Every structure is written in C-alpha cells, then in structure tokens.
Amino acid sequence: MFEGVGKASIVAFRSGVVMGFLLAANDLLVLYIAINLFMLYYSDDWEGLFEAVTGYGLGRSSMALFGRVGGGIYAKAANVGVNLVGKVERNIPKDDLRNLVVIANNVGDKVGDITGMGSYFFGSMMSHPILLLLLLPSHHLVSIMISLLCVIPCLSVPWVFLFV
C-alpha cells in the first residue's frame, strides 16, 4: 500500500519541479525576447524603451488580474449550476456523487485552483523585478547602490526556480 503512495508522491514532486522550471524559464525567455524587441524598435529612444517595458509589466499584471477574476466567476457559476440541478431538480444532497455534475465541479475546482496559482505567478514573477529595474535609475548615485542591494534578491528569484 505504501509503495504506491511513495511512487505517486515522487511523481507528483517531479511534476511540480518540472512545472516550476518551465514557468520560470518561460518568464525569463519572454522577458528577454520582449526587451530585445523593444530595443529593436526604440534603438536610441531610451524614454520610449522605458515606457514600453513599463507597459509590458503593467500588461502582465492586468492580464493576470482579469484571468483570476474571470476564472473565479466561471467557477462560481459552475457551483450554482451544480446546486440548482442537484437540489431543485432531483432533490439530491449538495456533494452527493449521484449527481454527475458534482464530479465535473470537483475537477473544475482543482483546475481553477491550479490556473489561479499559475495566473498569480504569471502576474508577479516578472512584474515586480521589471518595476524595480524601472525605478532604479530615478535615484541618486548613493541610493542606487542601496537599491541594487534590494533589487538583486528580487531579480534572483526566477533564477533560483530554474536551478531548484
């Protein structure tokens, strides 16, 4: 009995490691490509490049926010549908497995949880380092050194995920 659980936990752990690696690698790759494309367009216009990278960070955060809100609304609508079919139409208790929609709702809840977490990581993994990099040049030289000490740990978070 425990052999199956042990093997399953190893598979689950390795799957989580692979997904964490892919998430961090994808974020770094997309950020690298976006900044290089912006640099091709704004070759000498540093102010335009600054605004483009700022817009990229804001766009990522907005996209993640709408993804989480939309997924939550969809999950709540599915819950209401399950309750209506089970209680009103067939007089079945709330989480009874005789209501086939309950199984689909449970799967939908798990998928919603996973995509919600992925959306959160999508919004925050690169947005905060981007914003820190953009705020860095606005300080004086002394505070730049202090800011670098604060920024380096934030920029190293995706790299840590790559090597974990």
Mean pLDDT of the chain: 73
In terms of Cα–Cα distance, which of 130, 143, 109 is closest to 49? 130
pLDDT score of 1 more than 50: no
Cα gap 65→74, rounded to integer Å: 14
Q: Residue 54: which of 138, 142, 163, 143 has the closest Cα?
A: 138
Domain count, the chain: 1
How many residues can be counted in the chain? 164
The domain in which residue 144 lies consists of 2-163
CA-CA distance, 88 to 96, in Å (whole number)?
A: 14
φ/ψ (deg, to 5) at 90: -115, -5
Q: What is the pLDDT of residues 76-133, one digit of tens each?
A: 777 777 777 766 766 777 777 777 777 777 777 777 777 777 777 777 776 666 666 6
Q: Is residue 33 over pLDDT 70?
A: yes
For residues 121, 64, 151, 146, the Cα torsion angle rounded to the nearest 10 degrees is -140
Q: What is the pLDDT of residues 131-148, one digit of tens each?
A: 666 666 655 555 555 655
pLDDT, tens digit (0-9, with 9 covering 90-100), for 56-66:
878 887 888 78
Straight-line distance from the first to the last Cα atom of the chain, in angstroms, rounded to the nearest whole number: 30
* Number of continuous H segments (helices) and E segments (strands) in the chain: 5, 0
